[in-house]
Amino acid sequence: MVARARIGAGPRVFAAAVRGLRGFDMHRRAGLAVHTRATQVEPGVQASFGLGIGRLRLWAPCEVVWVVDEPQRYGYAVGTLAGHPESGEEAFEVSLDGDDVWFDARVFSRPARWFTRVAGPATHLAQDWALGRYRDALHRLATLA
């Protein structure tokens, strides 16, 4: 699954989007709880992302597997860890192309737990919903900075 969206224009928006990705703020602004000991994304950093409330919160543990940090491109990928509802990888990148700032997300996964196997195609709808929330969150972070 691949998603691409223009989230704004100019170096200021790009820098704000990078900050939003680097500190897991995109995930928080999208409505997820984030548990990590790290202050920023680096290879090997582990984080758990939680959706829900209290004991009904579903946690998705991940580890950052790569980071790209270039003058006009920043991003990273997380690989799922044991206990995650899916098995796979998610990558998030922002890039400055001319004056346009783009957000790209790629998801490669398959069900890893009984409830995601039972849910079948509904898991793709959940991933689409999450990617939309990430896009909107990053857009807000980047344009309000």
**pLDDT at 29 exceeding the cut of 80:** yes
The architecture that CATH gives domain 2-143 is: 2-Layer Sandwich (3.30)
Q: What is the mean pLDDT of residues 8-28?
A: 97
For the whole model, what pTM was predicted? Answer: 0.92
Q: Are strands 2-9 and 73-80 parallel, antiparallel or unpaired?
A: unpaired
Q: Give the tens place of pLDDT for each residue, 53-84.
A: 988 999 999 999 999 999 999 999 999 999 99
> What does the pLDDT average to over 15-24?
97
Cβ atoms 111, 88 nearer than 8 A? no
Q: pLDDT exceeding 70 applies to what percent of the chain? A: 99
CA contacts within 13 A on the Cβ side of 130: 21
Structure tokens given for 105: 């997300």
Q: Which strand (E) or helix (H) includes residue 1?
A: none
The H or E element spanning position 81 is none
